[in-house]
Structure 1
């Protein structure tokens, strides 16, 4: 029983990271109704850039570890912000009126570009951060040895806080009402004086910021985010979000959290080599049983 509970609590950490990615994905897809494969690449790119810049600050600039990490976070955030704005203006703006597959193809190319850019910058090597905040935190008292590290607890709290803030904005502010209005009827909102393109740009920047945050948290915990993980994460988040629903970011985050728990339990009882295949099979089954033909066209 203790082993199962430990896997379950470890899965909560995975669930928090997946929930952030899915939440960010729906912020874009809910407005554009276009499939975007770049979110996984942004996740990997931000984490990889954070690690590379931190390593540069530590080994070349002789910074202290906190200063090097802060330097890496600042540069990676700047890259993601500039890249998100460029993507909104150079990919979404000219291609939004085209067929649904144009955004898919463009973001697929962007994903490959970011992965190759990260690989070249890292010289096809993996750089690792030292373990941080690794002290165990007992979760069920001292009598039962169930624990998470301090960093895992911090990551979970940060992810929940970001999603809670996002839901508060969605439900209680004019920004959330505008997002829902543009999602439902962009032409009607334009006639009411709201610029759908401006709303879309803000949503893209926010979504990329959320995914970049997930990349930072993953890099701090795992110590490494490889440049070749972007594609698999992009596909996984697409399937997860489709299963959770495109209408509400919170529903997508909840579906992603369930998948994170399933992955953790699978890794504890079965072969890790078959974990992704099992997860994708489960998601395909869910999609086949619950998604209507109209929703299928929106993926």
Structure 2
């Protein structure tokens, strides 16, 4: 029983990262209505930026560990904002009215560029952060087994929950949230009501990028490293999870992503981990087929 509890606790942390990514992706996709393959790239690029800047601050600037981590976090958020503005103005706005495949192809190119920039900046080396707040906190104990979470896991979960709750309230009760829903439903009608769709579009892209950056920073601090190909893997998972949860409800998308993270952890605890991604993506694809068939049946 304690082993099962340990897998559930591990799933809480994975689910928190996925929930942040799904909330931000739903913000972007709800207004864009196009597949954004660059979103996972922002996640991985932000985490890698944190690691590379932290290594530079430690080895070249001789900063203390807290100072170099803070510098890396600041750089990651700055790059996320710059990427968000570049994507909004240079990719999404010109292609928003074109074929859906145009944005999918363009964002795939952006993802590849971000991966290559990270690889070149790191000189194809993997840099690792030292263990951060990896002290175990015992949450349940038995004769031969303790169910624990580390301090960094607890902090990441608490921060993710707080950010998602605040973001959900802001989206539900502020003028930006109302305007975002209006533009998602019909941008032309929203414009006739005095809403600036372009401004809402840009703000939604920037907000989505900040959510991806926060998840990337949390992942980098916990794992110590993010691989160059992590952007594509996480991007595909979040794409499928958000499609199941619904693009027009960031809160539902976050809940679905948290459940997915929990399922991933349980799989890793009881089944061969090398088959985890294949089976989980297959399950998501099956859910999409079932949901699509159900919607078609209701339409008929």
TM-score band, normalised by shorter chain: over 0.9
The answer to whether structure 1 residue 44 and structure 2 residue 52 are counterparts is no
In 2, distance between residues paired with 1:205 and 1:124? 29
In 2, distance between residues paired with 1:291 and 1:155? 34
In 1, distance between residues paired with 2:252 and 2:239? 14
Aligned to 1:126: 126
The answer to whether structure 1 residue 167 and structure 2 residue 163 are counterparts is no
Aligned to 1:64: 64
Which 4+ runs in 1 deviate beyond 4 A?
Answer: 141-144, 292-295
CA contact (8 A) 1:19 1:253 kept: yes
Instruction: Give structure 2 stretches of 5+ with no counterpart.
Output: none
Residue 142 of structure 1 and its aligned partner are, at CA, apart by 8.2
RMSD over aligned Cα, in angstroms? 1.5
Aligned to 1:29: 29
CA contact (8 A) 2:2 2:142 kept: no
Pairs within 5 Å for 1:148-159? 148-159=149-160
**Deviation string, structure 1 residues 79-114 (Cα, Å, up to 9, x no partner):** 111111011000011111111111111101000110
Aligned to 2:267: 266
Pairs within 5 Å for 1:1-299? 1-140=1-140, 145-292=146-293
Residue 191 of structure 1 and its aligned partner are, at CA, apart by 1.0
In 1, distance between residues paired with 2:142 and 2:226? 33
CA contact (8 A) 1:43 1:211 kept: yes
Residue 294 of structure 1 and its aligned partner are, at CA, apart by 7.3
Normalising by structure 2, we get a TM-score of 0.95
**Deviation string, structure 1 residues 16-43 (Cα, Å, up to 9, x no partner):** 0000000000001101111101111110
SS at the partner of 1:146?
A: strand
In 2, distance between residues paired with 1:293 and 1:93? 33
CA contact (8 A) 1:243 1:291 kept: no
Residue 139 of structure 1 and its aligned partner are, at CA, apart by 2.0
**Deviation string, structure 1 residues 183-208 (Cα, Å, up to 9, x no partner):** 11110011112111110100000000
Residue 286 of structure 1 and its aligned partner are, at CA, apart by 0.6
Residue 140 of structure 1 and its aligned partner are, at CA, apart by 3.5
CA contact (8 A) 2:14 2:262 kept: yes
SS at the partner of 2:34?
A: coil
**Deviation string, structure 1 residues 124-180 (Cα, Å, up to 9, x no partner):** 111000001111112247887211001000000111111101110111111111111
In 2, distance between residues paired with 1:261 and 1:243? 16
CA contact (8 A) 1:53 1:71 kept: yes
Normalising by structure 1, we get a TM-score of 0.96
111 and 196 in structure 1: CA distance in 2 versus 1, 3 angstrom threshold: same
In 1, distance between residues paired with 2:294 and 2:276? 28
